[in-house]
Amino acid sequence: MKTEGRTTTPVAANMNSIQTVSGSKALDQATQLIFETGTPRRTGIDFPEPKGRPSRLGAHARQGEIGLPGLSEPETLRHYVRLSQKNYAIDLGVYPLGSCTMKHNPRLNEKIARMPGFADVHPLQPVSTAQGALEVMSVLSHWLMTLCNMPAVALTPKAGAHGELCGMMAIRARLDHDGASHKRRVLVPESAHGTNPATAVQCGFTVDEIPANQGGRVDMDVLRAKLAGQGKESDVAGIMLTNPNTCGLFESDIIEIAELIHAAGGYFYCDGANFNALVGRVRPGDLGVDAMHINLHKTFSTPHGGGGPGSGPTVLSEALKDHAPVPYVIKTDDGFDLVENPDEKSFGRMCAFHGNMGMYTRALSYMMSHGSDGLKQATEDAVLNANYVQASLSDVMTTAFEGTCMHEALFDDRFLKDTGVETLDFAKAMIDEGYHPMTMYFPLVVHGAMLIEPTESESKGELDRFILSMRSLAVRAKSGDVESFKQAPIYAPMRRLDETLAARKPVLRWTPPADVAEAAE
């Protein structure tokens, strides 16, 4: 075989010792700030100076330059494509961020959402010309109410926390309507989402925390003691409970919790952020829930990212449904209509229009393409995957609680004891293995917590590779190789960042270097 002139095997060399002049490492390209790539003197588009039109801005006219960088179209495109390639995404690999439900966003959802009839609809066009969009909202509402066994749903909330606010405002409206102004205390278990107490306070309630028991669930003795002997005279307005909770555990006493709260004249808010572990298997209405938000961007596969848009429809019980916000869709003899004006019981309006329409089409597309049996299977697979991860790692890592989990597996840092490696170092080492780290140091009730939510959309092969990486990291940590963990990430575009300095002394504005500033004078 002739091999002259063309090397077919890589030359053995210490690759890490090569420093490129450009700072790039092949496809990992060095990227400047956009302010450094462009200058205010340049522009990518040639517009003629406007002439002959008097300015109508008066005193509001801009006095000086604002200094935005000018870039050509290819420069702009390259800048953002390079940045996007440094990003981790669900479309690149396993994204085990517990509590966040980073599941696959089916492409069918996107296709449906981009159909012009949905994509181009405007909230101010006459309802007679938007019947299809209203029907989507109506059918979506039907699915959500059916899956939850609840008689009403408010579609408008634009995120999970907004949905919480909706539910708690409905509870507040009901209490005010009944003249129960002494009911201002909301019970919040330690294992609840952090937004729960914040929402309660926002609605004018005080928060009373219930500790977790040894099993990671609500301490029933404490709950009973807080409600004992007062009946409906109790000042308890309700409870905000996440189920499954942030420890990834089903609150097994949930029926009794609902009964105790109702006996005290309070209402049961359930944080539905983890509803993806229940869909098709458990209906919150059967558990005695009065209000629950549903994160369409978790459970029903609409995208997270870029900060949104989220969508947090909130289902309401018979006791609360009259207090739901406007607008909502009704079906009349002439088709669908929007109820825009609140009656005296409704607590009013949460946003200008009807919520994030684009999420409704995506969520409904997900529901209808899966069918009720498919949704049930997705739930079961999510729980199965989490338990597969937990069972496959429990001999080298330490699970926070005994027994099976729901849709996420929770580990603590006992397996790292005396190794010198901390949860943070372990998470950074996962970056080198090509994975987005799991959620860390949350929930707070578990020391050095590592919360892993694989979701149903990962195959066994993908999970096995992930597990292999996690096992090898755990073994390496225990073998005394602290240094490589403290150095991690080694292969990421940016190495370990000084998060403490960034938090203490954040640099929030780019300022031009002195010579550039002078040149612009």
Partner 1 sequence: MSTYFTEDHEWIKVEGDIGTVGISSYAAKQLGDVVFVELPEIGREMDKGDEAAVVESVKAASEVYAPIGGEVTEVNEKLEEAPETVNASADSDGWFLKMKIADADELEGLMDEAKYKAYCDGL
Helix axes 131-148, 357-393, angle to 10 degrees: 30
Contact at 8 Å (CB) between 298 and 100?
yes
Shortest distance (Å) from residue 496 CB to partner 1:
12
User: Between residues 39 and 213, which has the closer beta carbon with respect to partner 1?
Assistant: 213
Shortest distance (Å) from residue 306 CB to partner 1:
24
Q: What are the tokens at 79?
A: 């800048």
Place of tokens 């612009």: 520
- Tell me the three state secondary structure of residue 160: helix
User: Between residues 204 and 371, which has the closer beta carbon with respect to partner 1?
Assistant: 204
Shortest distance (Å) from residue 211 CB to partner 1:
12
User: Between residues 290 and 422, which has the closer beta carbon with respect to partner 1?
Assistant: 422
User: Between residues 418 and 499, which has the closer beta carbon with respect to partner 1?
Assistant: 499
Q: What b/e string do you get for 361-374 counting C-beta neighbours within 10 Å, with b at 16 or more?
A: bbbbbbbeebeeee
Name the pairing type of β-strands 450-452 and 206-210.
unpaired
Shortest distance (Å) from residue 447 CB to partner 1:
8
User: Between residues 459 and 500, which has the closer beta carbon with respect to partner 1?
Assistant: 500
Q: Compute the Cα dihedral for 148, 152, 158, 163 and give only its sign.
A: negative
Shortest distance (Å) from residue 425 CB to partner 1:
12
Environment class of 487 (CB within 10 Å of its CB; exposed 0-12, middle 13-18, buried 19+): middle
Shortest distance (Å) from residue 318 CB to partner 1:
37
Please give the Cα distance from 359 to 363 (Å, whole number): 6
Shortest distance (Å) from residue 202 CB to partner 1:
16
User: Between residues 8 and 500, which has the closer beta carbon with respect to partner 1?
Assistant: 500
For the chain, how big is the Rg over CA atoms in Å? 27
Residues of the shown chain interacting with partner 1 in the complex, contacts defined by CB under 8 A: 441, 444, 499-500, 503-504
Shortest distance (Å) from residue 209 CB to partner 1:
10
Please give the Cα distance from 74 to 37 (Å, whole number): 12
Instruction: Give me the DSSP letters along 450-496.
Output: EEE---TTS-HHHHHHHHHHHHHHHHHHHTT-HHHHHH--SSSSS--
Contact at 8 Å (CB) between 237 and 207?
no
User: Between residues 124 and 503, which has the closer beta carbon with respect to partner 1?
Assistant: 503
Which amino acid appears at position 58 of this protein? G
User: Between residues 222 and 319, which has the closer beta carbon with respect to partner 1?
Assistant: 222
Shortest distance (Å) from residue 81 CB to partner 1:
32
Please give the Cα distance from 62 to 54 (Å, whole number): 14
User: Between residues 134 and 410, which has the closer beta carbon with respect to partner 1?
Assistant: 410
- Tell me the three state secondary structure of residue 504: helix
User: Between residues 499 and 515, which has the closer beta carbon with respect to partner 1?
Assistant: 499
**Nearest CA among 291, 339, 293, 327 for reference residue 172:** 291
Contact at 8 Å (CB) between 385 and 462?
no
Shortest distance (Å) from residue 280 CB to partner 1:
35
Shortest distance (Å) from residue 208 CB to partner 1:
12
What are residue 267's phi and psi, to 5 degrees? -120, 155
Place of tokens 């492409």: 107
User: Between residues 353 and 441, which has the closer beta carbon with respect to partner 1?
Assistant: 441
Please give the Cα distance from 399 to 391 (Å, whole number): 9
Name, in order, each residue with C-beta under 8 angstroms of 465's C-beta and a sequence gap of 6 or more: none
